[in-house]
């Protein structure tokens, strides 16, 4: 297994997106190290909800059916420090 310098940190790239003509939105993003390497199988949790996702081999994830509002997303992965980021979701926006 290859160790990455600075693997104690995750750079959480979150791009809040919405699904037009629906009352919910979705959050998509990519989990990477500080060096830009993807973090596969990182767990991404929308705190205070039951919504979550698992990053794919490229570090990408999608959380669908998110009600409008402001949320804290927490990303965790073995060998990396957990990271949090606040995002806003707006239904119907493009």
pLDDT at 89 exceeding the cut of 70: yes
Residue 71 sits at φ, ψ, to 5 deg, of: -135, 160
pLDDT at 93: 53
pLDDT in the model for residue 90: 87
Q: What is the pLDDT of residue 76?
A: 96
> pLDDT, tens digit, for every residue of 7-40?
444 455 544 444 344 688 999 999 999 999 999 9
> Which residues are 42's β-sheet partners?
none
Closest CA to 49 of 28, 65, 37: 65
Query: pLDDT, tens digit, for every residue of 28-78?
Result: 999 999 999 999 999 999 999 999 999 999 999 999 999 999 999 999 999
- Number of residues assigned to the chain: 94
End-to-end C-alpha distance for the chain, whole angstroms: 41
**Is pLDDT at 1 greater than 70 in this prediction?**
no
Average pLDDT for the chain: 81
């Amino acid at each position: 297994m290859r160790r990455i310098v600075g693997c104690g940190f995750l750079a959480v790239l979150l791009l809040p997106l919405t699904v037009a003509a629906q009352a919910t939105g979705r959050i998509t993003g990519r989990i990477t190290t500080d060096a830009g390497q993807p973090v596969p199988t990182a767990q991404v949790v929308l705190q205070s909800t039951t919504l979550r996702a698992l990053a794919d081999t490229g570090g990408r994830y999608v959380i669908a059916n998110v009600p409008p509002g402001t949320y804290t997303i927490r990303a965790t992965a073995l060998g990396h420090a957990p990271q949090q980021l606040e995002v806003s979701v707006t239904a119907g926006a493009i």
